[in-house]
Amino acid sequence: MFSKSLLKTVTGVALGAAALLPMTQASAAEYKIDSEGQHAFIQFKISHLGYSYVLGTFEDFTGTFSYDPDSPENASASVKVDVSSLDTGHAERDKHILSDDFLDASQYPTATFESTGFESTGEGEGELKGKLTLHGTTQPITIDVEHIGGGDDPWGGYRQGFEGETTLTLSNFGIDTSKLGPTASTVDMYLVVEGIRQ
Amino acid sequence: MWRNSVHGWGLPSILLHWLSAALVVALFVLGWWMTGLGYYDRWYQLAPWWHKSLGLTLLGLTLVRMVWRLIQPTPEAHGVAWERVMAHAGHCLLYVLLLTVMVSGYLISTAEGQGISVFGVFELPALISDLPSQATLAGEVHWYAAWALIVLAVGHTLAALKHHIFDRRDTLRRMWWPGGPRRQ
């Protein structure tokens, strides 16, 4: 009973509405951290005897984040770290850090971060609040985040990059560094993540 | 004097045997003690330096020893048939455990590509590194193999004493006086 022209109109309107739909969610997106290309880094810095710093990284981790520049307060992130991928460039030291003297990686092989909220503090920066589970203990932490940049990449993808800083008090996670001297009670974390939009 | 025979051990074998025994005991005690040291103890760095230097020296000695053992005759074993079989198996296991302990120790320190200094005279380069959890896993093997070696060495000692004292054989004399005993 429907005329051809009515069918065309209805189809046209439906397709048009569908085409417009992505634009309402254009800026909110899920990103997957580019672990395969290692365009993400988790670095830590801890005092050595009060005379210098030991720098190290966690090489293997995966994660996702969600970011909408138009409503940054909805930003979220979730990261899973393979603790045994720790690397300070010294085999015996890494073995010691991963042992049950400190990180106990055989019992707690994974560290995770789940965000609980984001508070914007300015243009492209803010505080990402969340729960860090490390050494089997979960504690709230806040990461100071800054948006570095984002956009189309040369290979057909779309990326956003952030850097973050936070300081962890190791005893809060049941990690005893007292035998390393008083300056080693905290560790500074510096993170860089680049995510590919999914 | 220098060569082994069916009757006894030559001087090189005797020296290698007792030098190895002394090093195994010293390395075990040193190794166990050093894991109890704290970061601010004076020997925290020195003890591992000695442990690794002596361990690698023993590794070199053991390789020489094994080659020498293979190209030389072996004195006849004491005891009845099953004792001889057990003795042979036990000795093979001692060699296996020696190599396991020392190679696993080597794999700990070289897990990220760094070599190991031997008494500051030369550095043994890393041959295998970056295996997953290499230092941790090699560490586990090293610990358990060291204990197994010490337990087996105690058994080896008791068995030798048993043959020498209770069976009145020349077991210990053979491993002391080169060329075998003058009298059986």
Q: Is residue B1 part of a domain?
A: no
Chain B residues lying within 8 Å of A97, measured CB to CB: none
Q: Is residue B184 part of a domain?
A: no
Which of A110, A134, A136, A120 lies closest to A189 in space, CA to CA?
Answer: A134
Which of B25, B21, B6, B13 lies closest to B177 in space, CA to CA?
Answer: B13
What topology does CATH give the domain A27-197?
A: Lipocalin (2.40.128)
Confidence of residue A25 (pLDDT cuts 50, 70, 90): very low
Confidence of residue A11 (pLDDT cuts 50, 70, 90): low
Q: Tell me, what's the pLDDT at A28?
A: 78
pLDDT higher at A10 or B86:
B86
Closest Cα of chain B to A184: distance in Å?
12
Q: B81-118 pLDDT, tens per residue?
A: 999 999 999 999 999 999 999 999 999 999 999 999 99
Confidence of residue A24 (pLDDT cuts 50, 70, 90): very low
DSSP-assigned states of every residue in A105-168: TTT--EEEEEEEEEEEEETTEEEEEEEEEETTEEEEEEEEEEEEEEEE-TTS-EEEEEEEEEEE
Residues 113-142 of B with CB under 8 A from A: 114, 129, 132-136, 139
Q: Where are the domains of chain A?
A: 27-197
Q: Which of A84, A91, A180 minimises the CB distance to B108?
A: A91
Cβ distance A95 to B48 less than 8 Å, yes or no, reads: no
What b/e sequence results for A133-160 when a residue is b if at least 16 CB atoms lie within 10 Å of its CB, and e otherwise?
bbbeeeeebebebebeebeeeeeeeebb
Residue with tokens 């093997």: B141
**Beta bridge mates, A195:** A33, A160
Residues B32-61, mean pLDDT to the nearest whole number:
97
Q: Is B108 exposed, middle or buried (0-12, 13-18, 19+ CB in 10 A)?
A: buried
Residue of B nearest to A97 (CA): B136
Confidence of residue B174 (pLDDT cuts 50, 70, 90): very high
Q: Tell me, what's the pLDDT at A4?
A: 74
Instruction: Assess B39–A contact: CB distance below 8 Å, yes or no.
Output: yes
Cβ distance B114 to A106 less than 8 Å, yes or no, reads: no
Cβ distance A84 to B129 less than 8 Å, yes or no, reads: no
Closest Cα of chain B to A19: distance in Å?
49
Q: Is residue B183 part of a domain?
A: no
Cβ distance B112 to A94 less than 8 Å, yes or no, reads: yes
Residues B55-81, mean pLDDT to the nearest whole number:
94
Instruction: Assess B48–A contact: CB distance below 8 Å, yes or no.
Output: yes
Cβ distance B112 to A181 less than 8 Å, yes or no, reads: no
Instruction: Assess A87–B contact: CB distance below 8 Å, yes or no.
Output: yes
Token pair of B48, please? 């591992």
Longest Cα–Cα distance of chain A, Å, equals 87
Instruction: Assess A143–B contact: CB distance below 8 Å, yes or no.
Output: no
Residues B1-7, mean pLDDT to the nearest whole number:
88
Which residue type, as a one-letter code, is found at position B36? G
Residues A160-188, mean pLDDT to the nearest whole number:
96
Bridge pairing between strands A52-58 and A40-48: antiparallel
pLDDT of A161 higher than 60: yes
Cβ distance A179 to B110 less than 8 Å, yes or no, reads: no
pLDDT of A2 higher than 70: no
pLDDT of A127 higher than 70: yes
Q: Tell me, what's the pLDDT at B149?
A: 98
Q: Count up the domains in chain B and report the number.
A: 1
Mean pLDDT of chain B: 94
Chain A residues lying within 8 Å of B45, measured CB to CB: none
Residue of B nearest to A88 (CA): B112
Residue of B nearest to A99 (CA): B136
Residues 6+ apart with CB under 8 A from B95: B62, B66
pLDDT of B183 higher than 60: no
pLDDT of A19 higher than 60: no
Contact of A188 with A167, CB cutoff 8 Å: yes
Cβ distance B136 to A180 less than 8 Å, yes or no, reads: no
Residues A8-27, mean pLDDT to the nearest whole number:
58
Mean pLDDT of chain A: 92
Q: Is residue B120 part of a domain?
A: yes
Q: Tell me, what's the pLDDT at A69?
A: 85
Q: Tell me, what's the pLDDT at B60?
A: 98
CA dist A15 and B123 (Å) reads: 72
Q: What CATH number is given to the structural domain containing B43?
A: 1.20.950
**DSSP label at B163?**
I
Q: Is A191 exposed, middle or buried (0-12, 13-18, 19+ CB in 10 A)?
A: buried
Bridge pairing between strands A86-87 and A40-48: unpaired
Q: Which of A95, A97, A110, A178 to mutate to test the interface with B (most CBs of B within 10 A)?
A: A95
Q: A44-61 pLDDT, tens per residue?
A: 999 999 999 999 999 999
Q: Tell me, what's the pLDDT at B179?
A: 80
Which of A107, A106, A103, A109 lies closest to A88 in space, CA to CA?
Answer: A103
Chain B residues lying within 8 Å of A180, measured CB to CB: 39
Q: Tell me, what's the pLDDT at A5?
A: 73
Q: Which of B109, B129, B132 minimises the CB distance to A92?
A: B109
Task: Determine which of A6-10, B50-54, B170-174 has the lowest per-residue pLDDT on average.
Answer: A6-10
**DSSP label at B125?**
P
| Domain range for B20 | 11-174
Q: Is residue B136 part of a domain?
A: yes
Instruction: Assess B41–A contact: CB distance below 8 Å, yes or no.
Output: no
Residues B64-90, mean pLDDT to the nearest whole number:
93
Token pair of A194, please? 């680049």
Q: Tell me, what's the pLDDT at A6?
A: 76
Confidence of residue B184 (pLDDT cuts 50, 70, 90): very low
